Amino acid sequence: MKNIIEKTRTFRKFDATAVIDASTVEKLIELGRLGGSARNCQPWQYRIVTDAGECASVFPHLGWAGYLTDWKGPEERQRPTAYILCYLNREWLKGSLQEAHFDLGIASQNMLLGATEAGLGGCRILAFSKKLAAEFPQPEHLELQLVIALGVPAEKVVIEECSDYNIKYWRDGNQTHHVPKRRLQDILLQP
Ligand SMILES: Cc1cc2nc3c(=O)[nH]c(=O)nc-3n(C[C@H](O)[C@H](O)[C@H](O)COP(=O)(O)O)c2cc1C
């Protein structure tokens, strides 16, 4: 379990020649479907995007790696080759938006763990432009809230312990992406 969780990193560079079938993405959504849900209302629905033309229409709306201010996002040969668009179904929502977001966190982590097992990787993207929704018209009660980019990873990502409480991820000269994680002793509250 620890091994697969450690391997399930955020990836932002992919092999743009790797074709991902819709059926592969469907299997990830199946993993998301099985997660916990506040009031069990399961208010999320998903649109699979694997077609190259559709992928090309998603990409320009995405914001990548806010801390890497000198990097504009993956170049053409490193772009994701599939996406999961996550829609909140307002008609299925019973509780608060906060509860729904907990659910999506659980579901998306299940999906990304499954992606790792399938030799894929991904990136949750909250920083997308409002215009993206118009590219994939849906009934009014469906609200696009998260994009999950997927692909065959083409970058090295390592986790490391936080020093000086600096949580900003960074890239070294070899383009290895470093993700600082707070140390166990710093997140454990003393009894
Ligand atoms: C809810 C959520 C939203 C995120 N939104 C973005 C985003 O808009 N763009 C991006 O490049 N990364 C985004 N990320 C990825 C985080 O930056 C990433 O999880 C963090 O740097 C830690 O890296 P790790 O996932 O490898 O542990 C998001 C992650 C989460 C959980």
Domain boundaries, the chain: 12-155, 156-191
Ligand 1 atom, smallest distance to 169 CA: 21
Band (165; pLDDT cuts 50, 70, 90):
confident
Strand partners, 148: 84, 124
Please name the fold of domain 12-155.
Answer: NADH Oxidase (3.40.109)
Band (126; pLDDT cuts 50, 70, 90):
very high
> Under CATH, which architecture does the 156-191 domain have?
Single Sheet (2.20)
Under the phi-then-psi rule, with left for phi > 0, alpha for psi from -120 to 50, and beta for the rest, what region is 55?
alpha
Mean pLDDT estimate for the chain: 97
Given a cut of 80, whether residue 163 has pLDDT beyond it is no
CA 125 to centroid of ligand 1, rounded, Å: 7
Diameter over CA atoms, the chain: 55
pTM for the model: 0.98
CA 127 to centroid of ligand 1, rounded, Å: 10
Per 3-state DSSP, the chain is made up of helix, strand and coil in percentages (nearest 5) of: 35, 25, 45
pLDDT at 164: 74
Q: Measured between alpha carbons, how far is 116 from 7 in angstroms, rounded to an integer?
A: 7
